[in-house]
Amino acid sequence: MNPFKYGTVYGLLSVSSTQRAMKRLVELGIIEKMEDRYTFSDPFFPLYLRLRTFA
């Protein structure tokens, strides 16, 4: 998950907003930064989000 590419794809308004959101998600332990990318800390969380969105 690259915040810059993600913002462009999903039409987010500013890079700084995306960076702040990503920083907060790291602080909450929802995502982790590994080298130059972000991943979910819990591998099942993306599945949960998908199921909840389409349920």
Structural domains counted in the chain: 1
What is the residue type of 48?
Y
Whole-angstrom distance, CA of residue 33 vs CA of residue 48: 20
Q: Which domain holds residue 40?
A: 3-54
Q: Which residue in the block uniquely carries the two structure tokens 């993306």?
A: 46
Express as a percent the part of the chain with pLDDT over 70.
Answer: 75
What is the residue type of 20?
R
pLDDT tens digits along 3-21: 556 666 766 677 788 788 8
- Higher-pLDDT residue of 46, 17: 46
3-state secondary structure the chain: CCHHHHHHHHCCCCHHHHHHHHHHHHHCCCEEEECCEEEECCCCHHHHHHHHHHC
